Structure formats: C-alpha cells, structure tokens
Structure 1
Amino acid sequence: MKRILFAVLITVLWVTSAYAGGDLYLYIWSEYIPDEVVQSFTKETGIQVHLSTYDSNEAMYAKVKLAGQGYDLIVPSSDYVSLMRQQELLLPLDKSKLTNFANLDSKFVNQSFDPENIFSVPYMWGSTSITVNTGKIDEHAVTSVADLWKPELSGKLLLPNEPRETFTLALKLLGYSVNETNPAHLEEAYQKLRELFPHVKVFDSDSPKQALLSGEVAVGVVFNGEAFIANQEDSAITYVYPPEGYSLWLDSLCIPKGAKNVDEAHAFINYLLRPDISAIISAEMGYATPNAKAIPLVPENVHNNVIVYPTQDIIARGEFQDWIGDAMKLYDEYWVKLKTNE
C-alpha cells in the first residue's frame, strides 16, 4: 500500500513540476468552454490558459495560416480539420500522452476527415438549425427552411455570419447536399439567397442568442448550444429541425504546426477527455459530447433535451459537413457578392 501511495505522490509531483508555470494559448469558438473548466485545469496543473476566440472556421483558418505561430490549441470543425491536415498546418498527436482517448465513442473517431485521429480529437458535436422566438411570432409560422423566405419575416431574421452554414439553407431547400460542389447547383443556391438577404436584420455567429432573447429578431439560424441556452432563459424560444434537413458538425481539438507549448496542449486535451470534465462542458455549453464515458454523468435535463441530444430519427435528417475542396472558392465568391449586395 505504501508503494502505491508513493507512486501516486511521485506522479502528482512530476505533473506539477512538469507544468508549473507553463502556458497554453488556446484559440477556440466564442462561448465554447466553461470558465470553471479552464480555472480548474490551471489549479490542477499550474498551466496558465490564454484564451482567444473566433466566430467562424474561416476566421480561425485565416489567422492560423497567416500567423504561423502563436496558438497551441485550436478547435476546427471536421471540414477544416481535413483542409488543415492536407495543407500540413497541424502537428501529429502523441497518443501516449492522451490516456483518456479511449473514453470517446467509437462512432466519432477514425472518420474520413482524419483517419486514425492522427491530428484531431473530437471535442463536441451539434447542429445548426432554426430557432424561433414564439413570443414574437406564432409558433407554427416557421417549421421549415422554406418558411424563412416568408415576406412577414422581413427585418426579423438572423443568419450565421459564414458561407457554409448559410448556403446550407438554400441547398437543403433545393434538395441538394450541404457538401454540394456542382457549380450549377451552387448558382441556384446563390440566387435563392439573393432573394433572402435583403430581409436579414442580423448576421451573427458569435452570440446570436442575444438578438433572439432581446427580441431584436424573431427567427435565427443558430448553433444548437446557443438555442439551448436561450431556451433555458426563455422557454418561448424553440429549436426546429426542418423536414428539408440541416447541418450537423463535429468540432475537434488540434495542435497547429506553429505551437510552442505542445506538452501543455496534450495535457489540456487529455484533461478535457476526462468523463467528469466532458460532462460539465456539455451541460453548461449545451452541445453534445462524443465522450461515451461522460454520457452517464450529463444531467438528465440536458441529456433528455432534443436541442442538445436529438433522437435518432432527427439525426437521420441531418448531414455532416465535409471539406469541399476547390468548390469552397465559389462559396466564398458568392458570399462576398451576397454581403456586398452585388
């Protein structure tokens, strides 16, 4: 028994000495990690976490590619994991330092965007769909993607401030994939969005729930975690999974090539993979955890809430985003035209 206690003590002292006074520069989506998790990690390891945020994959990618260094950990969605892996912008992970990796549900690992998870570790998954403030409009006014084009919603609508999620609306309305690359189909989607954009009051991927809660808009296309938090504050705010379909996404933890604090990054990833920590993150942020061992620890009011954990029949209507290669240039070109009203 004394030997076991001595071994545990040595391990604790090694972890403390190895990381005491260390730093970690985390670049993550806005409102995507609880302060208490960051603080408890620092208390446990001595590593100071310096947190910066972004509101779109495009913004994160551009900054990481341009800066080359400055961040130790980023959280791209699956399509951008694929892109950054192909462009050699990510460092391979040392799985020997990720002892909690085995806690992940097998259906979220070894995906096509990163076979064998050489460069990425699943963090959270969720959806982007329609949120309605039924205190402002009739609860049956918006039940489908097609309803967003209703004239009575003019000046009452919020859309994401990024091309992929916004194009998903038009693509699904037209019966196409969220990963559409056919130029003719993208032209159709662009024309549909040209009809919609003049009626949009707010573009926000940072904290769109605020506009819904304040009544500035009545309908928004938002991340499900934003909808969950808004619903907790105002039960009149509901989340709609439209019959035409919607986008699903998986965000992952990655170490960019220019990282200076690689050991600290591994320590933080492993910490986030702890079941108790993953459960806290899911409960507070309102997104689903890919951590199988964490699911029993997620409070019932969160785990049983379809905004956070949709049923299998709802999931079947969703579609995960993949990287679309050179077609992304066309999305970006159309996006600029839409935002500048060309």
Structure 2
Amino acid sequence: MKPTLTAVALLLASTSLASAEGQLQLFNWGNYTSPELLSKFEAETGIKVTVTDYDSNETALAKVEAGGHGFDLVVPSATHVPIWIEKGLVQELDLSKIPNHANIAPEWMTVDYDPGRKYSIPWQWGSTGMAVNQTVYSGDINTSAIFLDPPPELVGKVNVTPEMGDVVALATMYMGGQPCSEDGELMKKVRDKLLEAKPKWLSMDYGMTEKMAANDVMASLYWNGAIFRARLENPDVKYGYPKEGFILWMDQVMLLKDAQNVEEAYQFLNFIAQPENAGLISSFARYANGISGSEPFMPEDMKDAPEIVVPAELADKGVFLKTCTGKAQEYITAIWTELQK
C-alpha cells in the first residue's frame, strides 16, 4: 500500500531524529577547539561533535541569521552576546541541566552582557595586542604604533586581524579616546589614521599562529593565546600590550534557538564547565578560561607566560570591550566599510 503523506512525514521525522541522536554541531572560531576535549567528550557520552569554523563575530552572526545552518551551539564574543539575545537567535538555558554552572568563577558570573549567565557558559578569555618578531624589530612592543604608525623596518610586514570591533577600538584608544566613542571629530581622526596606515600593512588576515611561527609575518595585531602558541614554535615572537590601551574579551558558548540536538548540547555545556575539561580547552588554545579550579589542569608554562600575565605597569590599560550601540556603532561600521575598500 502506498503510504499517506502523514505516514511519509512521520517516517522522515523518525529517520531524522535517529540520525541526529548522539550528534552535536558546534559553530566555533577556527583553530580554537581542543581535539582532546572532543575525544574525551565522545568517549564519556557517546556523542560525536562536528566543529564548523568561522573567522569573525560578524561571519557567525550572518550565517546563523540566514537560517538553514544546522548548528546547535555557537561561541560569540561578549560584544555580540546581547545582539544574539536581542535577535532571538539563542535560547535561555535550563540551568537545572547544567549542574556545573556553579563552577563559573564569580567575576565571570556577574557580567553585564549576560547577568547570572542565563544564556551562556564561558569558553575562554584573553586580550588583543601586538605580536612582533624581534629579529626584525627590537623597539617598544607595547604600543599600537606598530600597526598604526609602523616603524620603517616593519612597513609592509604587518598583519591586522580583520575583526572590526578590536581594530577600531585600538585605533580609538591610540588617538586618545575610548571604545564606543560618539565623538564625531575623534572618529574622523580614527578613520583617517586607519586609512593612512593601511598601505603600510602586509595583510588583514587570520592564521597568525602558523604564519608568525614560520616567519611569514613579522608583526600582527592579534590575540594573545594564538601568539603564545606561535612563540612556543618560534622564540623570536613576542607579545606586547599597547600602552595606549589594549582590549580584553571573553568568548562564551550559547545554545541556538533552533538547535536540533538540545539534550546533547546540554551535556556539552555541563562538560565544559567542569574544571579539568575547561583546563583542556585552555591547554590547547592557550587562553585563560572562566571556570574556577581549572588552573591545576593547565600547562605549567601558562602560569607566568608573558602572553597571559600583563606587566604591572600596563595592567590598568586593559579595557573590556562592550557592545557599542547607536551613533558609536554607526561610526565603527562606516569606518570599517571604508577600510575594506
């Protein structure tokens, strides 16, 4: 007998559910997910995690917003968490399914972008600063002048990470302001400085762990953990904290509104909030995390690494980047659009 439309629909639904069982789709930044963590999670739960990479907050947001993505979890930066929530792209967490939620460090529990951590679980946090190969440049590495007013020996050898918020914020502080400025005159100066500097850059690209380790790039505006990993391969690579102001940030995992593998996602969220597993995340990517008690499970060399420990004299120069809105965001977007031409 030919099955009815309803019977076919039920058959397809049951087949879909069966194929999804024991699966999880994680949408995360590239080269940022520990293979050891995933292997351990699969061994303990039987759930296989498939990781799809993205290279910027804007890329991730656009992909999910377009629909039909198939992802369950995403890892946005703090600046974008309110955007994901406001757009209805993520769902509030059922904390009864995440008993390890209690392991979130107090300082990361009370964040203004997700008070009480109702929508997110910490992944990793770090800074955005300057990386330099000291075989080419032996001057001050604690300055954004390296990419905004490159010294002669670095002209044509500098990379700038194409992350809009970080780049414009660092340039704003270099010009004497603060991130999310609504001062039109100041932001014109920021635009002019970036446009003046761009011809002196080599590239606006990612993948600096490998490229700086291989001496393909001699300086870069980039993230501390990635440069830590580059230094482990190439001791000539050093990381600096711009004295004009540098960025602090945190990435966190969020459950998408249209996630298909919800129970598997909850198991993963609970798993990464366990100290030894958070330690695995940090051990791979070399960033700090927001889980109390994870330090003993991290490599010994992370305790005093220059990419992790900010020099005392520069400690007050770190600014936690927040979500810019209104006129400030308009200026940032306009500057970025012009910089991409």
Q: TM-score, normalised by structure 1?
A: 0.89
- Cα separation, partners in 2 of 1:320 and 1:81, compared to 1, 3 Å: same
- Cα separation, partners in 2 of 1:258 and 1:126, compared to 1, 3 Å: same
After the TM superposition, which residues 117-136 of structure 1 pair with which residues of structure 2 at under 5 Å, given as runs?
Answer: 117-136=117-136
DSSP 3-state at the match of 2:199? helix
Residues 260-301 of structure 1 deviation map (CA, whole Å, 9 limit, x = unaligned): 111111110111111111112112211001111112332321
- Cα separation, partners in 2 of 1:295 and 1:151, compared to 1, 3 Å: closer
Task: Tell me the equivalent position of 1:208.
Answer: 208
Using the alignment, how far apart are the partners of 2:312 and 2:151 within structure 1? Answer: 33
Using the alignment, how far apart are the partners of 1:62 and 1:20 within structure 2? Answer: 24
Q: Letter of the 1:134 partner, please give it.
A: Q
Q: Letter of the 2:322 partner, please give it.
A: D
Asked whether the equivalents of residues 21 and 48 of structure 1 are also in contact (C-alpha less than 8 Å), the reply is no
- Cα separation, partners in 2 of 1:313 and 1:102, compared to 1, 3 Å: farther
Percent identical? 30
Using the alignment, how far apart are the partners of 1:271 and 1:181 within structure 2? Answer: 41
Does 2:339 match 1:332? no
The offset of 1:34, in angstroms, is: 0.9
Residues 208-258 of structure 1 deviation map (CA, whole Å, 9 limit, x = unaligned): 122222222211111111110011111110000121110000111101111
Residues 144-163 of structure 1 deviation map (CA, whole Å, 9 limit, x = unaligned): 11243135122110001121
* Structure 1 unaligned regions, length at least 5: 1-17
After the TM superposition, which residues 139-154 of structure 1 pair with which residues of structure 2 at under 5 Å, given as runs?
Answer: 140-148=139-147, 149-152=149-152, 153-154=154-155
Task: Tell me the equivalent position of 1:107.
Answer: 107
Residues 109-156 of structure 1 deviation map (CA, whole Å, 9 limit, x = unaligned): 121111121111111100110001112222x25431124313512211
Task: Tell me the equivalent position of 1:13.
Answer: none
Using the alignment, how far apart are the partners of 1:159 and 1:276 within structure 2? Answer: 34
Asked whether the equivalents of residues 69 and 257 of structure 1 are also in contact (C-alpha less than 8 Å), the reply is no
Does 2:183 match 1:179? no
- Cα separation, partners in 2 of 1:310 and 1:106, compared to 1, 3 Å: same
Q: Letter of the 2:266 partner, please give it.
A: H
Task: Tell me the equivalent position of 1:6.
Answer: none
Using the alignment, how far apart are the partners of 1:112 and 1:181 within structure 2? Answer: 21
DSSP 3-state at the match of 1:129? strand
Q: Letter of the 1:201 partner, please give it.
A: L
Task: Tell me the equivalent position of 1:323.
Answer: 323
Using the alignment, how far apart are the partners of 1:317 and 1:143 within structure 2? Answer: 11
Using the alignment, how far apart are the partners of 2:77 and 2:172 within structure 1? Answer: 20
Q: Letter of the 1:199 partner, please give it.
A: K
- Cα separation, partners in 2 of 1:265 and 1:173, compared to 1, 3 Å: same
Does 2:74 match 1:74? yes
Using the alignment, how far apart are the partners of 2:316 and 2:281 within structure 1? Answer: 25
Does 2:36 match 1:36? yes
After the TM superposition, which residues 49-60 of structure 1 pair with which residues of structure 2 at under 5 Å, given as runs?
Answer: 49-60=49-60
DSSP 3-state at the match of 2:66? helix
DSSP 3-state at the match of 1:322? coil
Using the alignment, how far apart are the partners of 1:181 and 1:258 within structure 2? Answer: 36
Q: Letter of the 1:143 partner, please give it.
A: N
DSSP 3-state at the match of 1:197? helix
- Cα separation, partners in 2 of 1:20 and 1:168, compared to 1, 3 Å: closer
The offset of 1:328, in angstroms, is: 2.5
The offset of 1:313, in angstroms, is: 5.5
The offset of 1:184, in angstroms, is: 3.0
DSSP 3-state at the match of 2:178? coil
Does 2:304 match 1:304? yes
The offset of 1:85, in angstroms, is: 1.1
**What is the root-mean-square deviation in Å for CA atoms of aligned residues?**
2.0
Using the alignment, how far apart are the partners of 1:290 and 1:312 within structure 2? Answer: 21
DSSP 3-state at the match of 1:316? helix
- Cα separation, partners in 2 of 1:268 and 1:313, compared to 1, 3 Å: farther
Residues 170-196 of structure 1 deviation map (CA, whole Å, 9 limit, x = unaligned): 111112112323333222211110110
Using the alignment, how far apart are the partners of 1:196 and 1:49 within structure 2? Answer: 42
The offset of 1:104, in angstroms, is: 1.5
Using the alignment, how far apart are the partners of 2:74 and 2:20 within structure 1? Answer: 22
- Cα separation, partners in 2 of 1:265 and 1:230, compared to 1, 3 Å: same
After the TM superposition, which residues 182-261 of structure 1 pair with which residues of structure 2 at under 5 Å, given as runs?
Answer: 182-205=183-206, 207-261=207-261
Using the alignment, how far apart are the partners of 1:57 and 1:309 within structure 2? Answer: 26
Task: Tell me the equivalent position of 1:63.
Answer: 63
Q: Letter of the 1:103 partner, please give it.
A: N
Using the alignment, how far apart are the partners of 1:330 and 1:286 within structure 2? Answer: 33
Using the alignment, how far apart are the partners of 1:192 and 1:220 within structure 2? Answer: 17
Q: Mean Cα displacement is larger for which, 79-88 or 244-253?
A: 79-88
Task: Tell me the equivalent position of 2:12.
Answer: none
After the TM superposition, which residues 270-281 of structure 1 pair with which residues of structure 2 at under 5 Å, given as runs?
Answer: 270-281=270-281
The offset of 1:312, in angstroms, is: 6.3
Asked whether the equivalents of residues 155 and 199 of structure 1 are also in contact (C-alpha less than 8 Å), the reply is yes
DSSP 3-state at the match of 1:177? coil
